[in-house]
Structure formats: structure tokens, C-alpha cells
Chains A and B, each alone.
Chain A
Amino acid sequence: MITLSMRPCGDFRTTYKADTRIFDTRLIQAVAIASVIGLCFAPLVLDAYYLTLFIQISYLAIAALGLNILVGFTGQISLGHGAFFGFGAFASAWFTNSFAIPVWISIPMAGWFTMAVGMLFGLPAARIKGLYLAIATLAAQFIIEDFFARAEWFSGGAYGAAAEPVILFGYAFDSDESFFYIALFALVFMYLWGANLMRSRDGRAFVAVRDHYLSAEIMGINLTWYRLLSFGVSSFYAGIGGALYGHYLGFVSAEGFTLMMSVQFLAMIIIGGLGSVQGALMGTIFIVLLPEVLEAIVGLITHSGLVSAGNVVENLSYFKEMAIGLVIILFLIFEPDGLAHRWKQIKAYWKYYPFAY
């Protein structure tokens, strides 16, 4: 939200429209559009493994942005985001399996449905804050997880639920190459949605509630409604992300949506930058790619024969978990404002070089 002006010299805005753009300069806008177009050709070049990683980043980043709207922008806390993510996955599968709704409609429907459920579980937020709210949302996490296990009509219980692939105009998006485009479209759409939300009325209201709720109320902002709505919007994003996840894998099982997943979403937005739309994406990329990079490093060490290979390979998963923990701690110490903030500072460094300010 902070608009530190980093415009090139002489780049004056003559209309208010030009002054409220999402991308600060034409160059950044052009780069963003070019990268999206460039990504459209990725399935022709990259192999399935990288496409899988991208798809994974997409649906997680959508959910992470939702959590960032709740935690970063509205200043509330949720430990139940993983459960809402799962709820979206099951809801979309349920809509298609039980009511024969086409998948491309059931995904947004799952979003709205999860939003309603999120607002229900967000009701305590009207009254409580901080640690107490964290515990209340923890309850939501366990209640929903339990619901997945027991409500066989909805989730298939212990067997899980099958999720059909997306079918548009008779074409089934069931391969990595084809689903890539669905993921890319959803990612771009949901991030534009988020960026626009944050520059319009309700987005400002969220930040106002976070920064000073007493004066926000005097400004005509209904605190109860906006605290609830923030839960709603956050769950909406989780639901969309979850639905994409379900229809990508083709199968949803109840085990994945644990507290660990909720914490991982929190890690993404803390590392990416609380209260930043692009930060949510950066944090997700970081968390998804970190194990991959570590695996590559461990692989290198193994092949170099520096250490006894057997031990390292056996303990690979422990190394990864420990490294993720370590990285989060280091981030909290050295860059509490996240990757988005660091990125801004790097830009400022190049812009003002050789001067410090």
C-alpha cells in the first residue's frame, strides 16, 4: 500500500487515471504483460516437471493472497486457511459429482461457497482479536478437518472424492500442458482482482480497520462487517485455490488439509511480505521452490562424494524441513517486511546508484 514514489525523472502524471495504475510505470507494465505472454509458450519449451511446479505455485499463490488480505491487509489472524483450501477442493468436486455442474462453473461456485463458510467461522472476529482469534480459527481448522472425515455425502469420507478435469468447449484440460493455461489464467485473474480490490473502497476499508479501527469506525466503516468480509474474501481465495488443486490432481483426499498447511500459508505471506499483493506471490514461489533448490544442492553434494552418500539421501527430508524453519527464522530477523520490501529496496538501489538515497 505504501506508494514510495520511484518514478523516472520527468515522468509526470497528468491524469488521475494515470496516477492510479496498478503498475507504477509503463515499463513495469510492459514487462508484466510480456511475462504473461511469454509464459503462454512455456508448455512448448518446459518439461512436465516444471509445469507441475508452476501449477502448484498458481493455486497456492491464489490461496496465499487470500490469507494476505486477511492477515496482512486487515490485520487479523487465521490458522484455518488450510482447511478452507480443502473445503474449496471438496466443494467443487461435490458440485460436479452430485449436481453435474460443469467444472468451470463449479470452481467459482466453490469460491463463493467457501466464502460463506469462512464468514460463518469468522464470526468470532467481530468480538475477539490477536491470539484469541488465532485460537478461534484453530477451532475452525479442526472442525472442518473433522467434517471432511465424517461427512461422506460431501467429501467421500476416508475414501476421498474424485474431481473431474476442467472441460471447456469439449476439450478436457487433463494434462499438465493444458492445465497450465487454466492455472495461468486463474493466477492472473485473481491477482488482478486482488490488486483492484486494494485500490478501491473495500480494500482501503480493510487497511483502515487494521491501522486504526476506532477512527475507521468514525469514517463510516462498519467494523463488524469488514472484519467478517475480510474472512469471507480470504476464504473465497482459498476456495478458488483449493478447487483448482482438486481438479488438477483429479482426486481430493482429506489428509492434506492440516494445520501444517495453514502454517505454511502463513509462512508464505510472512516471507513474501504482509500487506503486499505481489508479496503473496513471491512468498509462494519461495516456499515452493526452496525444497527443490535444496534437493538440487543435496544432489550435488551426494554426487560429489564429499559425504557418505547413504546418510545424506536418507536424511534429505529432515534437511529440507530444517532448512525451511531456518529460512523463516532468518527472514523474521533480517527482513521482517518480506521479499516485496526487499525487492523495492533493490529497485531503489539501482535507481539511485551511486547515491545511497
Chain B
Amino acid sequence: MTPNESESHPSISSEAKNHSTRRDFLLKVGVVINTIAAFMIGIPIIGFIFSSLIKSTPPVWFSLGPISKFPEGTMRRAVFENPYRREADGQTSRVTCWVSRIQGDQFKVFAANCTHLGCPVRWFAQSQLFLCPCHGGAFYANGAYAAGPPPRGLYIYENKVENGELKIKAGVLPTLGNPV
């Protein structure tokens, strides 16, 4: 208490001193309790907000079906249900990819998302090109960059053939920060 204040309230100054020690103690207790409480509430809230980072959803292996679905030397569109699908996702869990069977068990599987801004590219067999409908990005049959604004070639999913089934490692939206 500043001298000025005690001067303006001279009548309570002696009593206030006793009170102020008790009040100081209660204030300190209050600060400690509330700090603990803030952490107890805050940490779970922050954890909840960033849960999509804490609970990682890495790409997983799953089957696109028997390799007989993909004739040699062709490019076929394949639609798969995302492995992280939930009921509420509805149709949005259906993901498109482009499967190129080079020969035998040799495959290349491309994400449909253009590397420029993520629009779905479409394959044109006649000109052997992927074209993006949004900004005109173009890619060659091997997924390499051909023309337009994309910064790189198409995203490629890892693939393997097991028991006559084509399996790919996917499930995460490919972006430049997380290219499959």
C-alpha cells in the first residue's frame, strides 16, 4: 500500500494491514490453483485442436483389385474407397487414381491430383497426355511434367503385386508438402 493511499483512508490502515496479509495469501493460492486449472483445461484443448497432427494417418497398403483388370500397355482409371473412410464421409471417400500397366507386373500408379493446385487430371489416350481441367497443366504418360503451371510431375503411389492383386500405398491427399 502506498503512503498516499493509507493517507486517504487513515481509519482502516491498521486493520487493512492484517487483512492484506490474508488477502495476499489467498491471492497467491488463487493464482496457483488457477494456473494448475488452466493447464488442466488448456493442454487437452490444445491436444484436441492439433489431434490431426498427433494421430498420424500414414499411407497404408491396400488392393486395387486383380491385375487382370489392367491390360498391359494401357492406362486405366481406378476408383478406390479411402482406407480411412468413415460413414459420414459419403462419396468423398472415393478416390481416383490412374493405373499404367507397363508390362507384366510392372505398374505405375498416379494420383489424380494435379501437382499445381490439386484438381483431378484426365488421361487422353490419343495424345498420350494427362490434362488438368483447371489451369491446363499437362503430364506425359510416365507422369513426368509436360507443360503448364505444375511445379513437378504427377504424384506416384508405391505399388506391388501380391497374389495377382495390384496393391498401392495410399490414403492421404497428396500435396507438395506431403507428396504421398
Is B one of A's binding partners? Answer: no
Which A residues form the contact surface with B (CB < 8 A)? none
* Residues of chain B having any CB pair with chain A under 8 Å: none
